[in-house]
């Protein structure tokens, strides 16, 4: 059902993932002319771009699989693992720069993980509720 709470969490995860394409995660300081460049999903490289888009699409696809809760739960876990891979790719990208600071928007990556965890928790509660109601029959 689309009115479940985990639908909201998955929608927020998808929107946050797509927002990280444009919003900067890291500010790079150029020492010569003191200009700042921003590292986001669009200019961080092809692997970061593909994983970011995959996370957003995965979250939206997971919303549509409300009848198959086990697959939905597995896709939430896959989303968490993809986000961990994305955080690692951003970390590896930022270690190549001499100077820079994380942006405020880098918190979105932790929010995506949190949204997937909350969605998985809601899916697990629904599955448990269905199993308990089947036992009563």
Sequential pLDDT tens for the chain (137 residues): 556 888 999 999 999 999 998 888 877 766 655 556 777 777 878 888 999 999 999 999 999 888 888 899 999 999 999 999 999 998 888 877 777 777 788 899 999 999 999 999 999 988 888 888 766 55
State the burial class of residue 44 (Cβ atoms within 10 Å of its Cβ: 0-12, 13-18, 19+): buried
Give the C-alpha separation, 104 to 132, whole Å: 43
Which residues fall within 8 angstroms of residue 13, CB to CB, at 6 or more apart? 55, 59, 79, 112, 115, 116, 119
Which pLDDT does position 25 carry in this prediction?
81
Work out the angle between the directed axes of helices 46-64 and 107-136 (0-180°, nearest 10): 30
- The residue count of the chain comes to 137
- Are 123 and 73 contacting, i.e. CB atoms less than 8 angstroms apart? yes
Give the C-alpha separation, 51 to 108, whole Å: 15
pTM, rounded to two decimals: 0.85
- Are 117 and 5 contacting, i.e. CB atoms less than 8 angstroms apart? no
């Amino acid at each position: 059902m689309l009115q479940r709470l985990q639908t909201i969490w998955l929608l927020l995860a998808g929107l946050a993932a797509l927002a990280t394409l444009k919003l900067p995660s890291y500010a790079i300081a150029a020492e010569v002319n003191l200009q700042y460049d921003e590292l986001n999903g669009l200019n961080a490289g092809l692997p970061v771009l593909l994983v970011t888009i995959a996370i957003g699409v995965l979250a939206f696809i997971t919303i549509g699989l409300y009848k198959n809760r086990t697959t939905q739960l597995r896709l939430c876990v896959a989303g968490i693992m993809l986000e961990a891979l994305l955080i690692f790719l951003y970390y590896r990208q930022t270690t190549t720069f001499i100077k820079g600071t994380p942006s405020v928007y880098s918190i979105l990556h932790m929010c995506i993980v949190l949204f997937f965890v909350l969605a998985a928790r809601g899916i697990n509660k629904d599955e448990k509720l269905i199993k308990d109601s089947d036992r009563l029959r």
